Structure 1
Amino acid sequence: MRRQFFRPITAFGLIAALWLPHAAIAQSQYPAKPIRLIVPFSAGSATDILARIIGGKLGEGGQWQVVVDNRPGAGGTLGASTVAKSPPDGYTLILVSVGHAINATLYPKLGYDTLKDFAPVSLVASVPNVLVVNAASPYKSMRDIVAAAKAKPGTLNFDSAGSGSSTHLSGEMFKMQAGIDIVHIPYKGTGEALTDVMAGRGDMMFAPTVSAMPFVRQGKLRALAVTTPARAGALPDVPTVAEAGLPGYAFDSWFGVLAPAGTPKEVIQALNTEIGKALASPDVRERLAAQGAEARGSTPQEFASYIQAEIGKLAPVVKQSGVRAGE
């Protein structure tokens, strides 16, 4: 009896002794291979630009290698679905934007749960949208646009990166609060939309500063107002929408990193720590500022709460605008 009872305990102890050190070593060696950072939008988008800045910084030390993988489509939901279904090992991540919170209301069926199927890692940046017009446009201020729209309802249009995008909802909030009728023209991406504004085929756009700044500097676009509560550091002379005539208007385009739900807490913490270091480095902060973005780290718990709050804030805007996925 004693010998029969003793052997299973010895075998179990041997297995535990062999497995536990192995698990500890595996965690201490993370990452042991390249990390895939999915960008759910096309190359050149604000999300793509930020991903390459952060990913490049993480790779400077040699231990971390980040490969940016663009998976555009369906307003960012294709990339998000890929990550939600990926192994929760810390080697597949996604850089999402405020569109991740918008999509929770916009799409009746996502194929994933916005809150339950992801493990928040960290906020990364806040990027104002900026109301821009062609450099030769007759509109010199936001008030000029409002006056023209009220004089001739339905004759002006605004471009966006797609229905339900932050560039779209910024414009919808503008329409609602200004009490004007301007026509939404959705494109398949920010680049295409900005190209038509610069060519004079679109009257205006609420574009991410990251994407619009180069053209503003080149004199191809005129910046009229930024959507955030405070002025953008890269555009100190450009008023906020609230300052320009719509008190209370505020729309913040944020970006952050998510992992699949079930990713070990130790891995989430390691990622959070390294991203925090990258965001604190002067060169990254300078590069982000040059793009009109502000470095904005957080704890995983803070990011989780932030996403939930954003879903609640943006849901009424989506519903009131009447926008439907795929329009």
Structure 2
Amino acid sequence: MTRLTRLIAGVIISATVAAPLGAWAADDFPTRSIRVIVPVAAGGWGDVTTRVICQRLGEILGQSIIVDNRTGAGGLVGIRYTKEQPADGYTLMSTGSTLAIQQSLNKEPGYDALKDFIDVGTMVRSPALIVTSSKSTYKSLSDLLKDAKEKPGTISYGSAGVGTTTHIAAAMLLKKAGVQMQHVPYKGNGAAMPDVIAGRVSFLIDAYGSSQPGLNGGLLRALAVTSDAPVSVLPNLPTAAQQGVPGFSYYYWLALFAPAGTPPDRVKKLSDALAKTLNDPKIKSRLQSEGTEPFYASPTESEAFLRKDLETTSQVIKDTGIPKQ
């Protein structure tokens, strides 16, 4: 065999071997740990819920998943950071309404949710609670709204900060109810809670999971839930719609996102594993015990959901007069 013939034969053999190996490598994803960026502080509903899901998701994928809290600027720090990471499926982000809110609220958010990220799938949704101090004279949301109508602009409410989900939810509620209150922004719901408990602000909209200790400890009173119907964890608590705000509902939600350009086969593998995770009876039970419900949607369905949320959020910010930052 001549040298040229051997060279040609070697190329043919290499190409033949490389094709199945390349396919095997793609199917073998992931081969190392995955990071999930959470753009909110540790301990809140979004963080805790993400950790519960990621533990089981990692078991299904056969790799550990590291939750990495990258906080700051109302979630922008973590969102922008994720956008710049390699599009290889090894860096994901868990967030929800924050993605739509920050894009709608900021003149220069530094990202485009529909262009810079790929939806892996929605994960969960949870209604919020309208909570006040257990020492408050308000026994229901109806009491609070009645007082607010009689004293426009004098009653205050807290939030996790301007443009956060807690602020947007409260602004939507007050607009729907036709009342005016003073907004007192804090650096997170955790920072606002002591003033709610002490009665220095009249109410706060918070996730069930983070309000539960205060409710069980007798420090907080729930006035209403923002879901379409009463929830199983608090079956006797009426909705806001049942207390003078017809048509009002609000849900926190979370989804997994990957940087734009992540290979479709990897997105599908992640999404399929996420669906299995959320169908796990133990995960379902754990989430439901904390007032959260599995809310899986495929990448295509999730993108449509995000698109709608962007439109709704932008309109809410415009209607409520929240100035762009």
Band of TM-score, shorter chain: over 0.9
Aligned residues: 323
CA RMSD across the alignment: 2.1
Seen in structure 2, the aligned counterparts of structure 1 residues 133 and 277 have a Cα distance that, compared at 3 Å, is same
| Equivalences for residues 224-263 of structure 1 within 5 A | 224-263=223-262
Per-residue Cα deviation, 1:220-258 (whole angstroms, up to 9, x for no partner):
211111112222222211111111111111222111100
1:301 aligns with 2:271: no
Question: 2:316 is matched with which residue?
Answer: 317
Seen in structure 2, the aligned counterparts of structure 1 residues 12 and 260 have a Cα distance that, compared at 3 Å, is farther
Shift of 1:314: 1.7
Calculate the TM-score normalised by the size of structure 2.
0.93
Q: Distance in 2 between matches of 1:13 and 1:193?
A: 68
Shift of 1:28: 2.3
Question: 1:154 is matched with which residue?
Answer: 153
1:167 aligns with 2:148: no
Question: 1:184 is matched with which residue?
Answer: 183
Secondary structure at the aligned position of 1:275 is classed as: helix
CA contact (8 A) 1:241 1:250 kept: yes
Q: Distance in 2 between matches of 1:8 and 1:79?
A: 51
Seen in structure 2, the aligned counterparts of structure 1 residues 205 and 25 have a Cα distance that, compared at 3 Å, is same
Calculate the TM-score normalised by the size of structure 1.
0.93
| Equivalences for residues 1-327 of structure 1 within 5 A | 13=12, 16-60=15-59, 63-324=62-323
CA contact (8 A) 1:45 1:189 kept: no
Q: Distance in 2 between matches of 1:13 and 1:179?
A: 75
Seen in structure 2, the aligned counterparts of structure 1 residues 270 and 203 have a Cα distance that, compared at 3 Å, is same
For 1:138, give the aligned amino acid. T
For 2:88, give the aligned amino acid. D
Per-residue Cα deviation, 1:199-218 (whole angstroms, up to 9, x for no partner):
32221011112211232222
Seen in structure 2, the aligned counterparts of structure 1 residues 18 and 179 have a Cα distance that, compared at 3 Å, is same
Mean Cα deviation higher: 168-177 or 11-20: 11-20
Secondary structure at the aligned position of 1:59 is classed as: helix
CA contact (8 A) 2:61 2:273 kept: no
Q: Distance in 2 between matches of 1:95 and 1:32?
A: 21
For 2:273, give the aligned amino acid. E
Q: Distance in 1 between matches of 2:217 and 2:59?
A: 31
CA contact (8 A) 1:163 1:325 kept: no
CA contact (8 A) 1:128 1:227 kept: yes
Aligned identity (percent) is 37
Q: Distance in 2 between matches of 1:110 and 1:16?
A: 46
Q: Distance in 1 between matches of 2:150 and 2:313?
A: 29
Q: Distance in 1 between matches of 2:246 and 2:226?
A: 11
* Structure 2, gaps ≥5 residues long: none
Q: Distance in 1 between matches of 2:220 and 2:286?
A: 21
Mean Cα deviation higher: 79-88 or 60-69: 60-69
Seen in structure 2, the aligned counterparts of structure 1 residues 9 and 148 have a Cα distance that, compared at 3 Å, is farther
Per-residue Cα deviation, 1:264-304 (whole angstroms, up to 9, x for no partner):
11111111111111111111111111211111111110000
Seen in structure 2, the aligned counterparts of structure 1 residues 13 and 234 have a Cα distance that, compared at 3 Å, is farther
Mean Cα deviation higher: 208-217 or 49-58: 208-217
Per-residue Cα deviation, 1:290-324 (whole angstroms, up to 9, x for no partner):
21111111111000000001111121111122223
Shift of 1:85: 1.1
CA contact (8 A) 1:36 1:93 kept: yes
Seen in structure 2, the aligned counterparts of structure 1 residues 7 and 37 have a Cα distance that, compared at 3 Å, is same
Per-residue Cα deviation, 1:81-128 (whole angstroms, up to 9, x for no partner):
111111111110000121211222111111111101111011110111
Secondary structure at the aligned position of 1:96 is classed as: strand
Mean Cα deviation higher: 7-16 or 264-273: 7-16
For 1:248, give the aligned amino acid. G
CA contact (8 A) 2:34 2:90 kept: yes
Q: Distance in 1 between matches of 2:213 and 2:72?
A: 25
Seen in structure 2, the aligned counterparts of structure 1 residues 307 and 19 have a Cα distance that, compared at 3 Å, is same
CA contact (8 A) 1:127 1:210 kept: no
For 1:71, give the aligned amino acid. R
CA contact (8 A) 1:39 1:95 kept: yes
For 1:101, give the aligned amino acid. A
Seen in structure 2, the aligned counterparts of structure 1 residues 8 and 162 have a Cα distance that, compared at 3 Å, is farther
